[in-house]
Amino acid sequence: MTSFYSARSRAIEPFHVMALLARANELQALGRDVIHLEIGEPDFTTAAPIVAAGQAALAAGHTSYTAARGLPQLREAIAGFYAQRYQLSIDPERVLITPGGSGALLLTSSLLVDPGKHWLLADPGYPCNRHFLRLIEGAAQLVAVGPEVRYQLTPELIARHWDEHSVGALVASPANPTGTLLKRDELAGLSTELKARGGHLVVDEIYHGLTYGTDAASVLEVDDEAFVLNSFSKYFGMTGWRLGWMVAPQAAVPELEKLAQNLYISAPTMAQHAALACFEPATLEIFEARRAEFARRRDFLLPALRELGFRIAVEPEGAFYLYADISAFGGDAFAFCQHMLETQFVAITPGLDFGRHQAGHHVRFAYTQDLPRLEMAVERIARGLQSWQG
């Protein structure tokens, strides 16, 4: 039957972790206590001021479409956030509100990539990035990266892999699955290299705010013509509200608005009204307290996994992931994840979901459980290693 479906659809791979998640849910239904370290979703519920703002919006009847670019007051609030956090003056007219960060990626890829053209992407990286490119009949040119470049593209790698089909590069800082950052001078170097080649720089800043011991630089500090993708899902804890944004060069806004009108009309109205509460000082205090909690989790789980023999060559500075090499234990990463789930009831993500480069012996841990659960997970993983026969 699949032959009746488009080649485009058949070429897009599923999330391999979903098979593990389905099995984890089966085990839970049987009464097993599964510790979920596989899904990249904060375990905190949406902050109370945001929920209250959403409820007030519904009570006030704010349930109609908004303009395709989003509520003007929300775009102004985001511009104000850039002024406060990055000391940047961003015209609210350059901000577009989207249905999640995915909506921002859909707009940007649709605008910049023709059929047969491609962006350079780091491998490992977030899988939906390459899948969106396939959807629009473009492609992802995956560039193998390792700990020697902190799993990030560099100007040298762009120069080495650029060809006649290249039109730009998409990078993430902090990155999923590795949690590494691009410093301000590194972003500037990428911008210079791409501009020299007539290419676009697109930066996923979805995990901004969730950094530990340092602050993430926005690419807009060094390149006002870059395209920025962001989301209310991670730092702001609004995953199910499906809300994101992008900042684009002014000249691109009319084309992006036209695409938004046709692709999704507008982002969810009640979510936009709720998100206005994100930028209130009291709400930001909640987010900062949660950031401190994520830092405590990282600072426990990172040395604990290393002590067990996992190789985590680069200390992550952001997001809430640890990308670990299991070579010391032997065997295939997917089978390793199955073993940990079936014998210890700990769910983790195989590297296969994040690309091809050395994916077979990497796994990702999401520290989206509280410290007692993480401590229990480490104890279980230690037992699981004793019975693992890779």
Asked if 53 and 277 touch (Cβ cutoff 8 Å), the reply is yes
The full length of the chain comes to 390
> pTM here?
0.96
Per-residue tokens: 310: 């996992």
pLDDT digits (tens, 9 = 90+) for 302-336: 999 999 999 999 999 999 999 999 999 999 999 99
Neighbouring C-beta atoms of residue 185, cutoff 10 Å: 10
pLDDT digits (tens, 9 = 90+) for 230-241: 999 999 999 999
Name residue 96's amino acid.
Answer: L
Asked if 186 and 220 touch (Cβ cutoff 8 Å), the reply is no
Domain spanning 7-45+283-384: which superfamily?
Answer: Aspartate Aminotransferase, domain 1 (3.90.1150.10)
pLDDT of residue 59: 97
- DSSP annotation of 74 reads H
pLDDT digits (tens, 9 = 90+) for 335-367: 999 999 999 999 999 999 999 999 999 999 999
d(CA 240, CA 271): 9
Domain ranges of the chain: 7-45+283-384, 48-280
CA distance readout (Å), 239 to 92, 206, 248, 338 = 23, 12, 23, 27
Q: Please provide residue 280's backbone torsions phi and psi, each rounded to the nearest 5 degrees.
A: -70, 145
Q: What kind of fold does domain 48-280 have according to CATH?
A: Aspartate Aminotransferase; domain 2 (3.40.640)
Name residue 347's amino acid.
Answer: A
Task: Supply the Cα-derived Rg of the chain in whole angstroms.
Answer: 21
Mean pLDDT of 26-35: 96
